[in-house]
Amino acid sequence: MRTSEDRSFLILLAAISLAFGWVLWPFSGALLWATLLAIIFAPLYRRALESLPGRRNLAASFTVVVVIVMVLIPVAVVIASLIDQGGELYQRAQSGEISFAHPLQQLKSALPDWAASLSDRLAGIDFSALKERLSSLVVPAGQQLAGHAINIGQLTLEFVASLLVMLYLLFFLLRDGDELNARIRDALPLRPSHTTEILNAFTLAVRGTIKGIVLVALIQGALGGLIFWLLGLTAPLLAGALMALLSLLPVLGSALVWVPVALYLLVAGSVTKGIILLAFGTFVIGLADNFLRPILVGQSIQMPSYVVLLATLGGLAAFGANGFVIGPLVAAMFLTAWHIFISSKAQQEVRK
């Protein structure tokens, strides 16, 4: 009878938990980022609490203000600038000032007659038709990009509500983080050693993901935007943002932006700018990941690059924009859980 009652209670507990999760789902993004920011800025909160002993509300409020100043305001400024530069780039592409077919035409003109004729026979390229096709692709793509940029830039009621909820949750997660951590440890039906290892792995994975992936991506994006600005190229902030976004993906990353632009410059006749961009991208932007990631991450997160790539792409496909964080976190927890299982199994075999 007691077993039956316990099972019924567990079923009821699971059903209520799922229902509560369904209720909170519209604010899942706010809850996710509040948790991530609370983990990242927990050391700052503890330092503030040491300076303000016993005043947890004031220390948490101070930390939230720091998050707003250091994270939210810069992100808002960057988004506003991206909207402006994205609209300008779209207008220039629509007016024909920027033409992606023009460098191809220049390349053909620079070839000897026999080479140009041979290229046409082998590839069957009609440059006039190619120009029309590229133009027909660029203008709708620019319209779609501009439309998305405008949608992102609009402060809708839903976005404002999610932002306020995130800040509200962040305050309480900072203030009551130790108590919540203790309750989670007590509630998990795991061995204390396993619970400690999993929670520690989650914390290290969060900090490693933010520091090793997001921060390195921001640095690479900043370097890319800087070289675009120094070379006088179009929309340096937009290019830097794209490089930062693509830098979240291992292996290729920001090279998907600066390599095609450098080749475009070489073909278009700006040989010096193209060479400078290739050299800067290879020896500065590219190597920044190799040097900075080990320093910033350290032992926080240890995953092969192919696992990070698959987890990031899978996270983006499954969870949208938040997936670039959720994917690596799930992968880190997966590896940790299997490490615990294998270690426990090995210990049991040794005991036998």
Does 224 reside within a domain?
Answer: yes
**207 in the same domain as 168:** no
Domain boundary among 157, 180, 203: 180
**341 in the same domain as 199:** yes
Query: Domain range holding 106?
Result: 27-180
pLDDT at 61: 92
Does 13 reside within a domain?
Answer: no
Domain boundary among 123, 148, 180: 180
262: left (phi over 0), alpha (psi -120 to 50) or beta: alpha
**246 in the same domain as 201:** yes
Q: Point out the residues of the chain with pLDDT beneath 70.
A: 1-2, 81-82, 84-156, 211, 249-252, 289-290, 292-305, 351-352
**219 in the same domain as 120:** no
Number of domains in the chain: 2
Instruction: Count the Cβ atoms, other than its own, within 10 Å of residue 163.
Output: 15
**157 in the same domain as 129:** yes
**278 in the same domain as 247:** yes
Does 82 reside within a domain?
Answer: yes
8-state DSSP, 321: G
Contact predicate 206/188, CB 8 Å: no
Which residues 6+ apart lie within 8 Å of 333 measured at CB?
198, 201, 202, 205
Does 19 reside within a domain?
Answer: no
**272 in the same domain as 149:** no
Does 54 reside within a domain?
Answer: yes
Domain boundary among 154, 180, 206: 180
Does 10 reside within a domain?
Answer: no
pTM value surpassing 0.85: no
Does 155 reside within a domain?
Answer: yes
CA atoms of 345 and 347, how far apart (whole Å): 5
DSSP, collapsed to helix, strand or coil, labels residue 140 as helix
CA atoms of 316 and 186, how far apart (whole Å): 33
Does 6 reside within a domain?
Answer: no
Contact predicate 229/236, CB 8 Å: yes
**158 in the same domain as 109:** yes
